[in-house]
Structure 1
């Protein structure tokens, strides 16, 4: 049987990034944390924590931390056992993967609704919506906002709706780069934004709306709010969640590129199949918040 106090120490070091901060979170000394981690590593015959700044988990360490997350989640609903499944030291935390645009638009309302009862904290891992499901498959998180509708083993998937995007630019950018209108050739040469190397939304829109592949200067901006700020400043054009862009479009600070064709990205909530009340509460909060912002997919 696993030594849960020691496994809790491993999880705290990975979560907090250092032995000192883990000790503070657990209410014990750094020496005690080190002894617990080292003792568990000796028992399993493998390194669980890569010491560094910050400390990180090995593959086995991540697997054991994911196991602890599930045990503690189930223990939460069995208070009469008095910790029979093993001590659950430290704050109960739910690891969740979410994409940047959801985090910047509708997901905060879900997190706030879930957090009002204060029984557990959220540990959010930020990733592209096309890749968040991989974190579920690895056991790194218990739930994810994802663009994948394919089932993940041991999980259930709930459709949330679609996040709608509009191609936008500042009016002075339109004047400089599209003096005779947004033609395919002008669009092909105009500077544009990309979130990261996995972001092809601008190419998707340009190909669908104008039949071209953007080939102008690419500005890499890995922040949803930074993406919007750079567009407002007139640096380049880009695709923005309508929920964020609409006030700027209404005020004339942004102009939507013709033909005003919008792109929808369907999103799903994939969550571990655990009969845990906290996961059910989080799922309820996520679905309610998504329903207020996302649109039914076309």
Structure 2
């Protein structure tokens, strides 16, 4: 029932996303644009060419980031784990900007492989740095290493954007996380990678429950710890790399959504993962709608809205529930 309720929320926000913007379009016009589009009707053209791809993209990216955040927290047993905090998004973004700056790569299929490589290398670098010392890769050390590398890679990305004036303006908007300006073909191309990552993520539920008990106990229960972590890592790279290649680095979403899911379901990852998969698109759709109407006639990129709205909520969440460990 909870999953059904959140699915209804996503459907309602999807309708709102198609109707709300610089021009408010009546719902009957939205439905007509989807059912029997008329190329001579400006409202239908706006829905079909601008808002429908943007809305579908928000849903797909929300699924990707919500699942990847829950996976990272489960695999590392770190409540602070998030693709933004542990440098995965920043690594993918830096790699995509390098591809555009040095090799002239501008298509999705050209960028996504750079994004995968950047996400994987960033994750390995954060873990290697966090594992230094006698205490190993503790949650705090991983978070600090991730924050340091995120700042470094973010600075490098900004430097490349400033040094390359010929890079298109939409790349600069992409660098702060934006859903605007994408066509349906790009969304469908990205969706194939997200679908594979989603399937890999959903089969990890039982393994993550075992890992939550500790590596030794998980092995005693017959769990292949290294294999489980490897599958989770591949899923995270697919989900984060594909999402970042299209919309840029959107932080915070993967951090808070799994905690909200745990408040609703408990610690069982067989429920946390599906709940994260539906809560994150709802949050991202709402953030995008807020960004469209907050500063008319302009709009705020969704990455800015998620950070501004989500950070205080996360602080409140931690203070209320005292979630200091998983």
User: How would you bin the TM-score normalised by the shorter chain?
Assistant: under 0.3
TM-score (norm 2): 0.24
**TM-score, length of structure 1 as denominator length:** 0.25
More strand by percentage: 1
> Rg larger in 1 or in 2?
1
The answer to which structure, 1 or 2, has the higher relative contact order (CA under 8 A, 6+ apart) is: 2
